């Protein structure tokens, strides 16, 4: 694992009745994000117990790549203008893989 990679765990709690709208916007976001040269991994997940909870696991090549992602026009439009107003809460946590059990893919 390289020291400068950025690993993010994102949790969105969607407002009741807005799940489908968020999923549609998220589909567009994922398609764009995965084309970024500094985006190494971008995978959304939905809770099996609470379908209004969406989790994203993101890996970027560097802090600059993570910043560049947030500064794209589509991030501003899809996340900040479309998705965030449909959420009850949004949490972004920077994490690091445990050295003892790192997946060699990253």
Domain segments of the chain: what residues?
Answer: 6-96
pLDDT above 70 as % of the chain = 92
Q: Is the pTM of this model over 0.95?
A: no
pLDDT of residue 106: 54
Q: Which residues pair with 32 in a beta bridge?
A: none
Contacts of 10 (CB under 8 A, 6+ apart): 55, 56, 57, 58, 90, 91, 92, 93
Q: Which residues pair with 43 in a beta bridge?
A: 57
Q: 46-82 pLDDT, tens per residue?
A: 999 999 999 999 999 999 999 999 999 999 999 999 9
pLDDT of residue 101: 60
Q: Which CATH number is correct for 6-96, 3.40.50.460, 3.40.50.1860, 3.20.20.70, 3.30.70.100? A: 3.30.70.100
pLDDT confidence band for 40 (50 / 70 / 90): very high
């Amino acid at each position: 694992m390289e020291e400068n990679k950025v690993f993010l765990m994102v949790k969105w709690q969607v407002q009741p009745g807005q799940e489908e709208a968020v999923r549609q916007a998220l589909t567009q976001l994922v398609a764009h994000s995965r084309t970024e040269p500094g985006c190494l991994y971008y995978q959304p997940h939905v809770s099996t117990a609470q379908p209004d909870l969406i989790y994203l696991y993101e890996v970027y090549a560097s802090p600059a790549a993570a910043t560049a992602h947030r500064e794209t026009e589509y991030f501003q439009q899809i996340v900040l203008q479309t998705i965030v107003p449909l959420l009850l809460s949004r949490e972004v946590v920077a994490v690091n893989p445990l050295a003892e059990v790192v997946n060699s893919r990253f």
